[in-house]
Amino acid sequence: MRPHQEIRLLKWTDFSDDFKYIRLAGDKVKSKRNRVVPVPKTLRIERLKKRENANIFTGTEKPYNRGYFSTLWKRFKKVHKEVDKHITIYSFRHSGAIEIFKRTGSLTKLQRAMGHSSLQVSLTYLRGLEVTELKEEDMPMV
């Protein structure tokens, strides 16, 4: 999910009752198409608040400003010098994309998971990944 828009604007009503999925309406995503995003088991929490229109981070109807998470990340990096200074909050989205592709080997699954409008956009996320495209068994027999 995109940190500055999709994550920052999350409300409790965006989650399914069992907290297994996040439903994002087209007006909340870059592609303008509805998306359903699975929530990994390790990230599931019980819904403690049922304030239907509340943002999950602020607890009110109003979300944090657009740069909120970036500012927190910059502060974190200042305290934790071992973190590469070039890693941005958006880097986690790219890492997630690579991990999805490594696990599934499917560009279409990657495209759906990332909410990309085309496979070409998804391919840009994989540009630095060394993926063996041909295997010995793919080659013709002589």
Give residue 17's domain range.
Answer: 1-65
pLDDT means per 10 residues, the chain with 142 residues, are 84 87 84 84 64 82 92 94 90 86 88 86 74 59 57
Q: Specify the pLDDT at position 72.
A: 93
Tell me, yes or no, whether 76 lies in a domain.
Answer: no
Whether residue 6 is contained in a domain is answered as yes
Pairing between strand 21-24 and 35-38? antiparallel
Domain contains 3: yes
- Could you tell me the pTM of the whole model? 0.64
pLDDT, position 80? 95
Buried b (16+ CB within 10 A) or exposed e, 88-103: ebeeebbeebeebbee
Residues forming beta bridges with residue 35, ordered by sequence position: 24
pLDDT computed for residue 68 by the predictor: 92
Residue at 50 is within a domain: yes
Q: Answer yes or no: are the C-beta atoms of 50 and 17 closer than 8 Å.
A: no
CA 118 to each of CA 45, 85, 92: distance values in angstroms, whole numbers, following the listed order: 32, 31, 21
Residue 52 lies in a domain: yes
| Structure tokens belonging to residue 57 | 């981070």
Q: Count how many domains the chain has.
A: 1
What does the alpha-carbon distance between residue 9 and residue 64 come to, in Å, rounded to a whole number?
8
Is residue 142, in this structure, part of any structural domain at all? no
pLDDT of residue 77: 94
Domain-located, residue 130: no
